[in-house]
């Protein structure tokens, strides 16, 4: 099964930008850690980062055609403003977990509202790079539960025939 990780604007600057807030870890390091965890658990993982809202919407929509089973997303600053990202997530109907490295509820007022938190499976915030790790673990568990439910349904259907 495949999980797509989508990183929003300025996350390519991790380790450089506001290290006092976001920490010293670079995005490539976060991605490598996620890659290792996914591989150890038998999952394929794909990474996407953009500073452009439309590109992120395209990446979400392409999930319907590229074999993606779930999405881990940090929309970054677009979390608070993007109706188009919200609409794309709602349209694809895949399990999605929203992550943020900082505790957005403890930051500026404008950062405390997420446009997507009410339509995603879960939100993990405030734990730095660990937020990504926990989000990935959560998605892997959701996908494993879906797989088990499908296997049970198939077994029951075979017994009924």
Lateral strand order in the sheet of 122-125: 44-49, 2-7, 68-74, 96-100, 122-125
Point out the catalytic residue in the list 7, 52, 100, 133.
100
Catalytic site includes residue 7: no
Residue among 109, 132, 112, 137 nearest 28 (CA): 132
- Does residue 95 contact residue 116 with C-beta atoms inside 8 Å? no
Point out the catalytic residue in the list 22, 52, 80, 133.
22
Query: How far is C-alpha 24 from the chain's CA centre?
Result: 21
Phi and psi at residue 69, in whole multiples of 5°? Answer: -105, -20
- Does residue 70 contact residue 91 with C-beta atoms inside 8 Å? no
d(CA 76, CA 9) in angstroms, rounded, equals 6
Catalytic site includes residue 22: yes
Question: Annotated active-site positions, please?
Answer: 22, 100
């Amino acid at each position: 099964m495949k999980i797509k990780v989508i990183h929003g604007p300025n996350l390519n600057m991790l380790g450089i930008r506001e290290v006092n807030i976001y920490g010293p870890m670079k995005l490539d390091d976060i991605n490598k850690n996620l890659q290792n965890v996914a591989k150890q658990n038998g999952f394929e993982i794909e990474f996407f980062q953009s500073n452009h809202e439309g590109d992120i919407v395209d990446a979400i929509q392409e999930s319907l055609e590229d074999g993606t089973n779930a999405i881990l997303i940090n929309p970054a600053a677009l979390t608070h403003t993007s109706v188009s990202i919200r609409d794309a997530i709602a349209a694809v109907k895949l399990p999605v977990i929203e992550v943020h490295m900082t505790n957005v509820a403890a930051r500026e007022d404008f950062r405390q509202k997420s446009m997507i938190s009410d339509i995603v499976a879960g939100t993990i915030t405030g734990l730095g790079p660990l937020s990504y790790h926990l989000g990935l673990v959560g998605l892997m568990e959701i996908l494993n539960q879906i797989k088990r439910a499908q296997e049970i349904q198939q077994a029951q259907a075979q017994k009924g025939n």
